[in-house]
Amino acid sequence: MRQQPWRSLVNHHRPVEVLRPDQVEEIHRASMRLLSDTGMRILSPEARAVLAAAGCSVDDLIVRFDPDLVETQVALAPGEFRLRARNPAKTLTIGGNHVAFTSVGGPAFCHDLDRGRRAGDQHQQGEYLRVIQQLDIIHQEGGGPFEALDLPPETRHLDLYLELIRLLDKSWQGIALGTERAADAIDMAAIAFGTDREGLAAEPVILAIVNTNTPLTLDVPMAEGLMELVGAGQAVCITPFTLAGAMAPATLAGALVLQNAEVLACTTLAQLVRPGAPLVYGSFTSNVDMRSGSPAFGTPEYTKAAQASGQLARRYGMPFRSSNTTASNAVDAQAAYESAMSLWGAVMGGANLVNHAAGWLEGGLTASFEKLVIDAEMLQMLAEYLQPITIDDDSLALDAIAEVGPGGHFFGSAHTMARYETAFYEPMVSDWSNYERWAERGEADATTRANAIWKQLLAEYERPPLDPAVDEALVEFVAHRKEALLG
């Protein structure tokens, strides 16, 4: 399958700013006031103890933060860090002006044109992961594209991690839902990298998403996951799901205040656990449809909120995470334009980590095989867009233009022939043939073509080599842990 080669992405554009600097400060000040006056409900006693020890006022479950403490702790978060991959060529830099694309994580359902929409299982999860490995534009796997609902929930993460290590040679996300899942990701990563927890802490391998329970709540499993990962020197992306009109006020300003307060609270906790812990400022502010209460994604508000969040993240010197989202139920024009709205907003807003960048459908309830491929095409296009235009004597082509002359044609010219192979972006999904040829070939639309593409990628998949001793150690670890967890 023809595709763009793996490459680390750098974004040289000055990020778009939808807020004036004084407006960024207003949101900052309001968040700080919220944290000191209203406070945050922290359900984990261990997390409350860490915060109390640092001088936070703790009143039952509510923790109130001193603005100076927050400022001091947030300043410790690094602006950029590396995430090692099993294949060193696929090690990522998160932050600065780097951009990394992550595949969809978390849905319960999966979908493709042949089999329709159905619950996820381990077999299909394996297929999906193989396609993710095949697509070079995907820099990181997102912690399980969908749930394997045929496996016991207590140990499902172990099977997933084993698959992630075996099937992929690229970076993958761990699951921060509780101490056990986080610790297993760390321990299995250590085995995969032939090291121990100390070696792993020296340079992080795992990144995991920590979601707050908006408004202003951090639940027990997420607090535990955060502390376990950060304690082991691994990276955490803190992402409140501030849905304006539901869990957040029905204004972007209000939703951003809430998001910012929750990110700052969790950042403070993380830095208290381990000063200098690698974190990402996550934004997931969108809005509901006020008529139905349905969540909407890839909307104008979503895009503006993402870009405003990028400004806030940079205000704190933290890497910024956004996402590729759509509420569409089908892989149709709506899915594409809502995704494009999300992706352009993210990239032009200076996102360093674009989560759910490929495969997300139906407001995140479904991982689609065809959407995975179509998103990969859009990501490839954005990656190519980010490459600077070459301007030199050769590319300015004054001699070639003079040679062809007024009224001539460049198709067979020496200047063109020398660039035949590499001149322009070559697509995977897009069909540029004329109507007649396209009609002859059966009038396949982009989604139908994407169906053929993921099947071909799956057929062409080759497992990246893994030391058999490492594989054996992993299998043993999983067996041992399953016994412990299932009793």
- The footprint of its own copies on residues 451-480 (CB under 8 A) is none
Shortest CB 158 distance to its own copies, Å? 30
* Burial group, residue 325, by CB count within 10 angstroms (0-12, 13-18, 19+): buried
Cis bond upstream, residue 215 (ω within 30)? yes
Residues 53-82 that bind its own copies (CB under 8 A): 61-62
Shortest CB 390 distance to its own copies, Å? 6
Residue type at position 169: D
Query: Can you tell me which of 5, 89, 411, 465 binds its own copies, judged by CB under 8 A?
Result: 411
Query: Can you tell me which of 52, 151, 201, 401 binds its own copies, judged by CB under 8 A?
Result: 401
The total of other beta-carbon atoms located within 10 Å of residue 25's CB is 12
| Position 10 contacts its own copies (CB under 8 A) | no
Query: Can you tell me which of 66, 80, 384, 471 binds its own copies, judged by CB under 8 A?
Result: 384
Sole residue written with tokens 């990563």: 189
Helix axes 21-37, 252-273, angle to 10 degrees: 60
Per-residue binder mask for its own copies (CB under 8 A), 218-257, x = binder: --------------------------xxxxxxxxxxx--x
Distances (CA, A) of 387 to 90, 208, 317, 380, 425: 19, 29, 25, 11, 11
* Separation of alpha carbons 62 and 53, rounded Å: 15
Query: Can you tell me which of 41, 64, 82, 274 binds its own copies, judged by CB under 8 A?
Result: 41
In the bound state with its own copies, the residue whose beta carbon lies nearer, of 147 and 187, is 147
**Bridge partners of residue 237, in order along the sequence:** 209, 280
Distances (CA, A) of 37 to 30, 188, 261: 10, 42, 11
Shortest CB 189 distance to its own copies, Å? 34
Shortest CB 457 distance to its own copies, Å? 18
> If you ran DSSP here, which 8-state letter would residue 441 be given?
T
| Position 395 contacts its own copies (CB under 8 A) | yes
Residues 91-130 that bind its own copies (CB under 8 A): 117
| Position 446 contacts its own copies (CB under 8 A) | yes
Residue type at position 96: G
Sole residue written with tokens 């399953």: 482
Shortest CB 109 distance to its own copies, Å? 8
| Position 296 contacts its own copies (CB under 8 A) | yes
User: Which range, of 139-147, 163-171, 199-207, 418-426, touches its own copies by CB under 8 A?
Assistant: 418-426
Shortest CB 125 distance to its own copies, Å? 20
> Three-class SS of residue 271?
helix
